[in-house]
Amino acid sequence: MAKIKYYYNTDTCNYERIRVSKTDVVLNLFGFFTLVLAIAIGILFTLSKFYDTPKLTQLKNEREAIVQHYQDLSQDLNTAEQHLSSLSERDDDIYRVYFEQKPIPQSVRRGGVGGTSRRADIYESNNSEKDLIIGTFQKIDQLHHEMLIQEKSYNLIDELAYDKAKMYASIPAIQPISIDDMTRLASMFGMRMHPLLQYERKHEGIDFTAPRGTPIHASGNGEVEAAFYSTTGGYLVVINHGYSYQSRYLHMSKFEVKKGQKVKRGDVIGYVGSTGLSRAPHLHYEVLKNGEPVNPVHYFNKNLTQEQYELIVELVAKQNDFD
């Protein structure tokens, strides 16, 4: 039962009942709830300053994990940059030097990698980890640029290596007659008295004496430029090896190739004979560089051991004129 409250009325000198209006009740209730709400807000604010909600705790943990991920990624990028720098140095100091190419300037390798529109949301943010995130993306952009430059350089080196290998396979580099098949070297490169014409003139090749029918091999890859009979050279073959090199094979008994045919080093192109101006079966072999005869001995570097080289020297000492 609600208590009835009274107050002393000085005008009537009596105790009179206190009557509360509905408005007062409403105002009192409003004030009470306002006070409670203020106290609750104060408590929540205080708690939020010192204690995290489960949701906030989860978000903070996720944020820390993301920051750690960016830090790890940044370290990995630093390691990748070091490896790429090592590859660049090897490229400039070894590969490009070997293939006679100038090193790539650092200004080209590093380039100018600035901010991009796809990073605009990060650049405009006020996130405390903004510098870390932007720095990571800049490293990615820089690394991507340097990888493209290195890839282009390696593509060039690959082309040069292929061309170099092709060149080495094309340059005359073996004896046209196996050292096991020949009996001696008859005439060497240089001035000598021609045995039939009886006057001194330059001998522009080397003569290999061997039994009639001994196989003659192409000394390098190339294309048959000529294959015909000459009154002086007899049955002869000319091979264009490219890279300014040619080789010529004279006095064959017959040839096994035709003009325009592709040949590889070691292919049989004909057989030893004594056609044209010749006194005995042998092969006259020439190497030409830029159209000028050069000493073929300098190009015997693919199929001779030390012992075989010494045998060549011995055969040279026993040379006789047969051309």
Which three-class secondary structure string do you get for 128-146? Answer: CCHHHHHHHHHHHHHHHHH
175 in a domain, yes or no?
no
Which range is most confident: 117-126, 130-139, 228-237, 288-297? Answer: 228-237
Domain assignment present for residue 41? The answer is: yes
For residue 164, pLDDT beyond 60: yes
> Within a domain: residue 179?
no
What's the token pair of residue 102?
């100038």
**Would the pLDDT of 213 be above 60?**
yes
Q: Residues 258, 298: one domain?
A: yes
Query: How many domains does one find in the chain?
Result: 3
Give the pLDDT band of residue 193 (cuts 50, 70, 90).
low
pTM above 0.85, yes or no: no
What is the per-residue pLDDT for 320? 44
Provide the token pair at 187: 């005439």
Q: Which residue has the tokens 């051309």?
A: 323
- 200 or 205: which carries more pLDDT confidence? 205
Please give the residue that has the higher pLDDT: either 257 or 300: 257
Q: Taking the chain, what is the end-to-end CA distance rounded to the nearest angstrom? A: 148
Mean pLDDT over 229-258 rounds to 95
User: Between 111 and 222, where is the model more confident?
Assistant: 222
- Whether the Cβ atoms of residue 265 and residue 218 lie closer than 8 Å to each other: yes
Return the CATH number at 199: 2.70.70.10
- Residues 308 and 179 sit within 8 Å (Cβ to Cβ): yes
Is residue 86 over pLDDT 80?
yes
The answer to the question of residue 323 being in a domain is no
The pLDDT of residue 323 is 42
User: Is residue 6 a part of any domain in this protein?
Assistant: no
Give 71-84 pLDDT, tens digit per residue: 788 888 888 888 88
**Lowest-confidence region among 100-104, 123-127, 167-171:** 123-127
Q: What is the pLDDT of residue 2?
A: 57
* Full residue range of the structural domain in which residue 118 is found: 54-170
Report if residue 7 sits inside a domain: no
Could you tell me what percent of the chain has a pLDDT over 70?
75
Amino acid 285: pLDDT: 94
Are 226 and 302 part of one and the same domain? yes
97 token code pair? 């030097």
Q: Is the pLDDT of residue 247 over 50?
A: yes
Domain annotation covers residue 194: yes
Same domain, 45 and 86: no
| pLDDT exceeds cutoff 70 at 192 | no
Quick check: 209 pLDDT over 70? Answer: yes
pLDDT at 33 over 70: yes
286 and 188 inside one domain: yes
Q: What is the mean pLDDT of residues 97-105?
A: 81
Confidence of residue 219 (pLDDT cuts 50, 70, 90): very high
37 and 58 part of one domain = no
